[in-house]
Structure 1
Amino acid sequence: MAAAVGAVVALAGGCQDPASADKGKGADKPSAATAAAPSPSATGPVMPAVVGQKFADAEAAVKKLVTAPIEARSGYVDVKLAADHAQWSVCFQTPAAQSPVSPATAVELSLVAPGTPCPAQAGATLRPSKAPATPTASAPKPAASKPASGGSSGGGSGGSSGGVVVYKSCAEAKAAGAAPIRRGQPGYSRSLDRDNDGIACDK
């Protein structure tokens, strides 16, 4: 009987050992999860979002990740970037926010002066109304300087009738609102009347 009781105790002890062994195996599983944890850290640094910040703050944030010089430029082509632009606001950034960067990444920041709104796109003009006035004023000048030479050569060839207005091409005549030009009218020339029907720039 004593031997039989001892055998039962031994069997019961043997049944408990595998359970404890399974618990030990279960303890190994968290180590696998821990091994997978480093994968997020494998992703490199990314460009911070600095649009809307002062240049001084944006520069400090970028310099934590990038050692290459940061290029600052004016957001408007007709506005010169001030020598001291630390308080200018960032309107555009390259690379874009969350883009991967390395120490050698070239970073460009487009800035506007304090109190100036950001343009719709980089390279816009802050005062576009002044731009059209300059070409319009300069356009008649070349036309007025050409009649002297055109009149001497045109008199022999009969190319120009008015001797005051000369158009180099029909595109120029149309842009001036003069086309079509009939023979005898200012600006008419045989060079513009390709079919020689007496009407220049009619097609």
Structure 2
Amino acid sequence: MTAMAAAVALSLAGCGDTAAKSSDKPGPAPSPTSPGPVMPALVGKTASEAESLVKKLSDTPVEVRGAYSDVELSRVHTMWLVCFQTPAAGAPLPPGSAAEISLTGPGTPCPAQAGAALRPVGTPTPTRTPVAGATGKPKPPASSPTPAPAPDDVSYKNCTEAKAAGAAPIRRGQPGYGKHLDRDDDGIACDK
């Protein structure tokens, strides 16, 4: 009885010749399911490379924007780097929808999240210390705080009035500049 039980167990386990022959036959090939193109990994690539990769896969439009909310996207941004992308890498590219990439300029790190400010409000901008020139007079700083914007047709009687309006110092070519306000003729009015 035990020999018979072993034989039955072997045939049920598929160790017999007929079972081996039927399992060696290939079954029908699974039907390929083609969900369509998937979004390539674009983060770290230049805008030019990223747009090219998306266009190779689909006629999906590519929307480009700056990764920082306070940095204007240059009209020539082909060498800017991709920080964020939508859809994510590996996600399907639905027909008719747009792919989005957020960029930073060369040498600018990516923000922790899209839309962050590169220079948060209240962050001082670095200024240069004036350096004495050959004449011994200090040179005007290369970059100084920007005065409050003034209307194009504004004029000031004197520097006291310009300072009270928050417009001083005023550089040559800026609204409100006048030779009568620039006593040392260095191109910066009301700087003293």
Higher helix proportion, which one? 1
Normalised by the length of structure 2, the TM-score is 0.49
In our comparison, the structure showing a higher alpha carbon Rg is 1
Normalised by the length of structure 1, the TM-score is 0.47
